[in-house]
Structure 1
Amino acid sequence: MSGIDGIIYLILIACLLPYVFMAIAKLSGGFKIADNQNPREFLAKTTGLAARANAVQQNSFESLPLFIAAILMAEYMVVSQYLIMMLGMAYIILRIIYGICYLANLATLRSIIWTLSMACPIILLLMIVRMM
């Protein structure tokens, strides 16, 4: 992966990741076809693993705007493709590890991984500011 196609794949993977955790939440929570009438209500009432998977889904959606903005701005400002790809892949890998930590109920490690994942787009944006 390199160039604009790599950027597109990074964004696509980051956008699809919350749905993986949504599926885990529904499967582990015993989601049934009848629950599709109001899936948010179903997920809000879950506990344990299903509730944690739902929290990962929500947090994954919450972090997307910062990630997408940073990646697109870095591309627009012609930041090194290598740096964009490395920080973008690090973000995705860290978000996956974050999700695993959340599912495993490892709160302290989860918070550390969350911080590292959020540092990736923030570093890109700070690099852009330095270029200006």
Structure 2
Amino acid sequence: MASLFDTTRNFSLYTIPAAWVIAFVPHFYAATQSKLFDNRSSRTYAQTLEKDQTISKDTKSRILRAEAVQTNGFENLALFATAVLAGHLAGLPAAKLNTLSVGYLISRVVYNFVYINNTSEGMANLRSVVFLAGVGQVMALFIMSGNMLRERAANLL
């Protein structure tokens, strides 16, 4: 059981495909919430949904939020993947890479849940806080990587 939580083994590269899956899941959820989804023209789903009068406003809103959170996840994926790769290039310790990478994944799961179920100003504010927490972890990876590389360069002189 102790090996399950072994932070000396670096698994942060595996969090990149995991982040992709976390970004994709809301679209799968949205597609299963209505019979209007047509996989032959999946990008028109939102427009088709807007015109349909048979689906409740709440259901439409939840589906549209799920599509929006998917877009947000894919927009942030490149930044996250680049930060993880920068950490590897800089030689950050496995424990730091693992902690920040998994922290980002957790923030994305929470973000997805809060965004899809957001119906109040308080939930919207929580969504923003969770988003910034995830971005903060990505920025921490970049800053730590930059510091590590700067120290290495200084030691070469």
Answering whether residue 44 of structure 2 is matched by residue 41 of structure 1, we say yes
Q: Distance in 1 between matches of 2:129 and 2:18?
A: 22
- Give every structure 1 segment of 4 or more consecutive aligned residues whose post-TM-superposition deviation is greater than 6 Å: none
Larger deviation, residues 42-51 vs 85-94: 42-51
**What is the aligned partner in structure 2 of residue 80 from structure 1?**
93
Larger deviation, residues 86-95 vs 37-46: 37-46
Q: TM-score, normalised by structure 1?
A: 0.90
Of the three residues 7, 10, 15, the one matched with 1:10 is: 15
Higher helix fraction: Structure 1 or Structure 2?
A: 1
Of the three residues 99, 102, 109, the one matched with 2:126 is: 109
Alpha-carbon deviation of 1:129? 1.6
Percent sequence identity over matched residues? 27
Aligned pair count reads: 128
Of the three residues 20, 26, 31, the one matched with 2:31 is: 26
RMSD in angstroms over aligned alpha carbons?
1.4
* Bigger Rg, structure 1 or 2: 2
Q: TM-score, normalised by structure 2?
A: 0.76
1:98–1:44 Cα change, 3 Å: farther
Equivalent position SS for 2:15:
helix
Q: Which residue type is aligned with residue 65 of structure 2?
A: R
Of the three residues 110, 113, 124, the one matched with 2:141 is: 124
1:73–1:102 Cα change, 3 Å: same
**What is the aligned partner in structure 1 of residue 107 from structure 2?**
94
